[in-house]
Amino acid sequence: MKFFVDTAEIDQIKELNDLGMVDGVTTNPSLIAKSGRDILEVTKEICDMVDGPVSAEVVALDADDMLAEGRKLAKIADNIAVKVPLTWAGLKTCKTLTDEGIMVNVTLCFSANQALLAAKAGATFISPFIGRLDDINLDGLELIEDIRTIYDNYGFETNILAASIRSANHMSDCAKIGADVATAPPNVIKAMANHVLTDKGLAAFMADAKKAGIKIV
Protein backbone atom coordinates (compact mmCIF):
# COMPACT_ATOMS: atom_id res chain seq x y z
CA MET A 1 0.00 0.00 0.00
CA LYS A 2 1.31 3.45 -0.89
CA PHE A 3 1.49 6.16 1.79
CA PHE A 4 0.39 9.66 0.92
CA VAL A 5 0.73 12.36 3.55
CA ASP A 6 -2.33 14.50 4.10
CA THR A 7 -0.97 17.97 4.85
CA ALA A 8 0.37 21.16 3.28
CA GLU A 9 3.01 21.67 6.00
CA ILE A 10 6.34 21.60 4.16
CA ASP A 11 8.52 20.71 7.18
CA GLN A 12 6.36 17.73 8.09
CA ILE A 13 6.30 16.44 4.52
CA LYS A 14 10.10 16.80 4.31
CA GLU A 15 10.72 14.86 7.52
CA LEU A 16 8.69 11.87 6.30
CA ASN A 17 9.89 12.16 2.70
CA ASP A 18 13.54 11.99 3.83
CA LEU A 19 12.68 8.66 5.51
CA GLY A 20 11.18 7.27 2.31
CA MET A 21 7.67 7.23 3.83
CA VAL A 22 6.02 9.51 1.28
CA ASP A 23 4.70 8.12 -2.01
CA GLY A 24 2.58 11.24 -2.59
CA VAL A 25 0.80 14.13 -0.90
CA THR A 26 -2.84 15.16 -0.61
CA THR A 27 -4.09 18.63 0.22
CA ASN A 28 -7.52 20.20 0.38
CA PRO A 29 -8.77 23.78 0.87
CA SER A 30 -8.89 23.33 4.66
CA LEU A 31 -5.27 22.12 4.79
CA ILE A 32 -4.10 24.95 2.50
CA ALA A 33 -5.94 27.48 4.70
CA LYS A 34 -4.31 25.95 7.80
CA SER A 35 -0.84 26.32 6.24
CA GLY A 36 -1.45 30.05 5.72
CA ARG A 37 0.35 29.76 2.36
CA ASP A 38 -0.67 30.69 -1.19
CA ILE A 39 -2.04 27.54 -2.87
CA LEU A 40 0.04 27.85 -6.05
CA GLU A 41 3.29 28.55 -4.18
CA VAL A 42 3.00 25.87 -1.53
CA THR A 43 1.80 23.27 -4.03
CA LYS A 44 4.80 23.99 -6.29
CA GLU A 45 7.15 23.58 -3.32
CA ILE A 46 5.57 20.23 -2.44
CA CYS A 47 5.74 19.04 -6.07
CA ASP A 48 9.44 19.93 -6.23
CA MET A 49 10.15 17.92 -3.07
CA VAL A 50 8.05 14.79 -3.66
CA ASP A 51 8.33 12.44 -6.64
CA GLY A 52 4.81 10.99 -6.44
CA PRO A 53 1.37 12.50 -7.11
CA VAL A 54 0.45 15.70 -5.27
CA SER A 55 -3.29 16.36 -5.04
CA ALA A 56 -4.40 19.99 -5.29
CA GLU A 57 -8.12 20.71 -5.00
CA VAL A 58 -10.31 23.04 -7.06
CA VAL A 59 -12.60 25.48 -5.26
CA ALA A 60 -15.14 26.20 -8.03
CA LEU A 61 -18.52 24.47 -8.05
CA ASP A 62 -19.54 24.56 -11.72
CA ALA A 63 -17.86 22.44 -14.37
CA ASP A 64 -16.47 25.26 -16.57
CA ASP A 65 -14.80 27.05 -13.67
CA MET A 66 -13.60 23.77 -12.19
CA LEU A 67 -12.01 22.89 -15.51
CA ALA A 68 -10.22 26.24 -15.71
CA GLU A 69 -8.92 25.83 -12.16
CA GLY A 70 -7.92 22.22 -12.80
CA ARG A 71 -5.95 23.14 -15.91
CA LYS A 72 -4.18 25.92 -14.00
CA LEU A 73 -3.32 23.60 -11.10
CA ALA A 74 -2.08 20.94 -13.54
CA LYS A 75 0.41 23.44 -14.99
CA ILE A 76 2.20 23.67 -11.61
CA ALA A 77 4.06 20.39 -12.21
CA ASP A 78 3.83 17.04 -13.97
CA ASN A 79 3.04 15.23 -10.71
CA ILE A 80 -0.13 17.21 -9.93
CA ALA A 81 -3.36 15.25 -9.44
CA VAL A 82 -6.28 17.65 -9.71
CA LYS A 83 -8.74 17.00 -6.90
CA VAL A 84 -12.42 17.49 -7.72
CA PRO A 85 -15.47 16.85 -5.54
CA LEU A 86 -17.80 13.95 -6.21
CA THR A 87 -20.56 16.02 -7.77
CA TRP A 88 -21.91 15.83 -11.30
CA ALA A 89 -19.78 18.88 -12.21
CA GLY A 90 -16.77 17.18 -10.61
CA LEU A 91 -17.33 14.02 -12.67
CA LYS A 92 -17.59 16.05 -15.88
CA THR A 93 -14.35 17.82 -15.01
CA CYS A 94 -12.74 14.49 -14.16
CA LYS A 95 -13.60 13.06 -17.59
CA THR A 96 -12.26 16.09 -19.48
CA LEU A 97 -9.02 16.37 -17.49
CA THR A 98 -8.43 12.61 -17.71
CA ASP A 99 -8.89 12.78 -21.50
CA GLU A 100 -6.26 15.55 -21.50
CA GLY A 101 -3.80 13.21 -19.74
CA ILE A 102 -4.07 14.89 -16.33
CA MET A 103 -4.32 12.79 -13.14
CA VAL A 104 -7.58 13.34 -11.26
CA ASN A 105 -8.42 12.53 -7.64
CA VAL A 106 -12.18 12.48 -7.04
CA THR A 107 -12.74 13.39 -3.41
CA LEU A 108 -15.54 13.45 -0.83
CA CYS A 109 -16.67 9.92 -1.72
CA PHE A 110 -19.07 8.37 0.77
CA SER A 111 -20.72 5.54 -1.18
CA ALA A 112 -19.93 2.63 -3.49
CA ASN A 113 -22.17 4.15 -6.18
CA GLN A 114 -20.16 7.37 -6.12
CA ALA A 115 -16.95 5.33 -6.47
CA LEU A 116 -18.43 3.46 -9.44
CA LEU A 117 -19.23 6.76 -11.20
CA ALA A 118 -15.71 8.12 -10.56
CA ALA A 119 -14.18 4.99 -12.10
CA LYS A 120 -16.45 5.31 -15.14
CA ALA A 121 -15.32 8.93 -15.50
CA GLY A 122 -11.71 7.72 -15.61
CA ALA A 123 -10.49 8.96 -12.21
CA THR A 124 -6.89 8.12 -11.34
CA PHE A 125 -7.82 8.11 -7.63
CA ILE A 126 -11.07 7.80 -5.68
CA SER A 127 -10.95 9.18 -2.13
CA PRO A 128 -13.47 7.52 0.23
CA PHE A 129 -13.50 9.34 3.59
CA ILE A 130 -13.33 6.68 6.30
CA GLY A 131 -13.21 8.85 9.41
CA ARG A 132 -16.15 11.05 8.47
CA LEU A 133 -18.34 7.95 7.94
CA ASP A 134 -17.24 6.56 11.32
CA ASP A 135 -18.10 9.97 12.83
CA ILE A 136 -21.77 9.41 11.94
CA ASN A 137 -21.80 5.77 13.06
CA LEU A 138 -21.41 4.30 9.58
CA ASP A 139 -18.57 1.94 8.66
CA GLY A 140 -15.80 3.61 6.65
CA LEU A 141 -13.76 0.44 6.27
CA GLU A 142 -16.78 -1.45 4.91
CA LEU A 143 -16.97 1.16 2.15
CA ILE A 144 -13.33 0.51 1.23
CA GLU A 145 -14.11 -3.23 1.07
CA ASP A 146 -17.15 -2.63 -1.15
CA ILE A 147 -15.21 -0.43 -3.57
CA ARG A 148 -12.36 -3.00 -3.70
CA THR A 149 -14.86 -5.71 -4.64
CA ILE A 150 -16.57 -3.60 -7.30
CA TYR A 151 -13.34 -2.38 -8.90
CA ASP A 152 -11.88 -5.90 -8.93
CA ASN A 153 -15.10 -7.38 -10.37
CA TYR A 154 -14.73 -5.22 -13.47
CA GLY A 155 -11.02 -4.46 -13.64
CA PHE A 156 -11.36 -0.72 -13.04
CA GLU A 157 -7.90 0.83 -12.80
CA THR A 158 -8.91 3.72 -10.54
CA ASN A 159 -6.78 3.63 -7.38
CA ILE A 160 -8.57 3.43 -4.05
CA LEU A 161 -7.08 6.22 -1.93
CA ALA A 162 -8.39 5.78 1.61
CA ALA A 163 -8.74 9.25 3.16
CA SER A 164 -9.94 10.87 6.38
CA ILE A 165 -7.73 8.44 8.27
CA ARG A 166 -7.78 9.10 11.98
CA SER A 167 -5.73 6.31 13.59
CA ALA A 168 -2.80 3.98 13.04
CA ASN A 169 -5.24 1.04 13.09
CA HIS A 170 -7.00 2.54 10.07
CA MET A 171 -3.72 2.23 8.15
CA SER A 172 -3.25 -1.52 8.77
CA ASP A 173 -6.98 -2.13 8.25
CA CYS A 174 -6.82 -0.41 4.85
CA ALA A 175 -3.73 -2.43 3.92
CA LYS A 176 -5.53 -5.69 4.86
CA ILE A 177 -8.52 -4.78 2.71
CA GLY A 178 -6.28 -3.90 -0.24
CA ALA A 179 -6.61 -0.12 -0.54
CA ASP A 180 -4.06 1.00 -3.13
CA VAL A 181 -3.12 4.11 -1.15
CA ALA A 182 -3.88 5.56 2.27
CA THR A 183 -3.45 9.24 2.97
CA ALA A 184 -2.94 10.22 6.58
CA PRO A 185 -1.80 13.19 8.65
CA PRO A 186 1.89 13.03 9.66
CA ASN A 187 1.06 12.29 13.32
CA VAL A 188 -0.93 9.19 12.32
CA ILE A 189 1.92 7.87 10.15
CA LYS A 190 4.33 8.42 13.06
CA ALA A 191 1.94 6.74 15.51
CA MET A 192 2.23 3.53 13.47
CA ALA A 193 5.66 3.03 15.11
CA ASN A 194 4.23 2.97 18.63
CA HIS A 195 3.69 -0.18 20.71
CA VAL A 196 3.52 -0.42 24.48
CA LEU A 197 5.56 -3.66 24.46
CA THR A 198 8.30 -1.94 22.42
CA ASP A 199 8.49 0.78 25.11
CA LYS A 200 8.47 -1.79 27.92
CA GLY A 201 11.08 -4.03 26.26
CA LEU A 202 13.34 -1.08 25.49
CA ALA A 203 13.19 0.16 29.09
CA ALA A 204 14.29 -3.31 30.31
CA PHE A 205 17.12 -3.50 27.77
CA MET A 206 18.34 -0.02 28.75
CA ALA A 207 18.29 -0.89 32.46
CA ASP A 208 20.31 -4.09 31.84
CA ALA A 209 22.76 -2.24 29.58
CA LYS A 210 23.32 0.35 32.27
CA LYS A 211 23.81 -2.33 34.98
CA ALA A 212 26.32 -4.23 32.83
CA GLY A 213 28.10 -1.03 31.77
CA ILE A 214 27.68 -1.88 28.07
CA LYS A 215 29.30 0.76 25.85
CA ILE A 216 29.47 0.57 22.06
CA VAL A 217 30.99 3.87 20.95
Residues of the shown chain interacting with ligand G3P in the complex, contacts defined by CB under 6 A: 6, 26, 28, 127, 129, 131-132, 163-164, 183
Contact 112, 148 (CB under 8 A): no
Q: What is the nearest approach in angstroms of ligand G3P to the Cβ of residue 157?
A: 21
Q: Which is nearer to ligand G3P, 92 or 132 (CB)?
A: 132
Q: What is the nearest approach in angstroms of ligand G3P to the Cβ of residue 27?
A: 8
Q: What is the nearest approach in angstroms of ligand G3P to the Cβ of residue 170?
A: 11
d(CA 206, CA 187): 26
211 is catalytic: no
Q: Which is nearer to ligand G3P, 17 or 127 (CB)?
A: 127
Q: Which is nearer to ligand G3P, 28 or 124 (CB)?
A: 28
**Three-class DSSP category at 181:** strand
Q: What is the nearest approach in angstroms of ligand G3P to the Cβ of residue 28?
A: 5
Q: Which is nearer to ligand G3P, 15 or 134 (CB)?
A: 134
Q: What is the CA radius of gyration of the chain?
A: 20
Q: What is the nearest approach in angstroms of ligand G3P to the Cβ of residue 132?
A: 5
Q: Which is nearer to ligand G3P, 137 or 153 (CB)?
A: 137
Q: How does DSSP assign 137-154, residue by residue?
A: T--HHHHHHHHHHHHHHH
**CA-based nearest residue to 70, from 98, 48, 50:** 98
d(CA 83, CA 166): 20
83, 210, 211, 215: the catalytic one is: 83
Torsions phi, psi for 116 (to 5 deg)? -65, -45
**CA-based nearest residue to 55, from 113, 97, 87:** 97
Contact 37, 13 (CB under 8 A): no
Q: How far is CA 28 from its chain centroid? A: 10
Residues noted as catalytic: 83
